[in-house]
Structure 1
Amino acid sequence: MEVTRDSEKLVRLRFEVADRVDHLPGQHYVLRLRAEDGYTAQRSYSIASDPADPLLELMIECLPDGEVSGFMHAEARVGDEFELRGPIGGWFTWAGDVPALCLAGGSGVVPVVAMMRHARRLGVEHLLRVVVVARTLPELPYDDELVGRADMIALTRENLGSRVAAPPYPDELVDLVEGVQRAYVCGSVGFASFAQRVLGEAGMRADAIRVEQFGASG
């Protein structure tokens, strides 16, 4: 296992998984911790790696009082072994076959990164439009990949270039929604609600929006 601590709150883990089943961008794995007394704790994490990557990549945000995220952030070391189950999920997946728009907030960008990497390898980047939202750029996971690749980065606590700090407005998304057959929303419960509303106001059909939402409790 490879371990990279990208920030005080983010740890990037790359696992070698025996007999791994190929995944689709948008799927997730369940990571389980098991104590010597038999106590277990588990959490689902979206996959960040392209399906062709020989290693499975997860990006874990350290949440307040998070049993699994806290342990992985503070204790995980190169060479550690963990229980993994997956890939899981079929609804929130993109195979690179239809024009799509992703609107993700915070650590909800992780499955979007997998979609971006998949699109780049297949040469279908023109089919994927990406909008991400974060408080500040340093708090955005994979900011190095998203800057210059995402169609729009909306920061809510600091300006970015000429764009004043604010969530995305419907009129900023109208052109990005045009011609899109499917939209993917990923983020917290509150963000998912906002994202569905702003996409609808920009002209996206509600039945074409697929949502993956999460909270501190998992």
Structure 2
Amino acid sequence: MRVCAAPPFAVDAPRVKQTRWRAHDLLRLERLAIAEDEPCWVREAFARAPFAVVRRAEAAAGFVAAGVRGATRSQRFGTWINDQDIESCVSPESLSDVEPLAERAAWPAFVALAALQRAFAGSGLNTFVWGPTGSAGFELATRVPTISASSDLDILIRMPDRCEWATVAALSDLLAQVAQRAGTRIDAQLETPSGGVALAELAAGKSRVLARANDGARLVADPWQPS
């Protein structure tokens, strides 16, 4: 996140492993506690779409790290949500078959999403659990116009078990073909036991890849080895 609020809990408070909500989940909130250092646009953004996106950061018991999205790419605010303020949760995979508003379906990111749905269904890769994140996922969950003509399609693919490099390469090739036909870019992140890993890095055959976890980012040789 571009800006982050001070935690509403003590610096030395024990951090707990969050299992109920995962990075990229969208939380619908009953209320958003005011942070002393929040930007002026946050209240308007929350009134427009009362959601926050779970982010990768450790939190004390009773809280979850999340972020509020504004109307522009520069408007991102990291904050802390009290568990009691969470009304419901929308996961990326629950959005994989959701259709955009009819008047928005022609935007490249949504064209790519529709094509990807068909491509996954018609290939041997249809066993993967996946879904849209970023601006496309946010718009599908909130029904608030969010993407633009230049928006990429961000997706999350859950990969808890070790995957052969040939399958990773096939995934990368499939996404590249769909993106080219749709005229946009598809940025895929794999959710592994070590954290979030870029599909492009893993497909490139690098000896170590960057894994983003709640306790920080690190280079790992094997993303299926829990950090």
* TM-score where L is the length of structure 1: 0.34
Greater RCO, 1 or 2 (C-alpha within 8 Å, sep 6+): 1
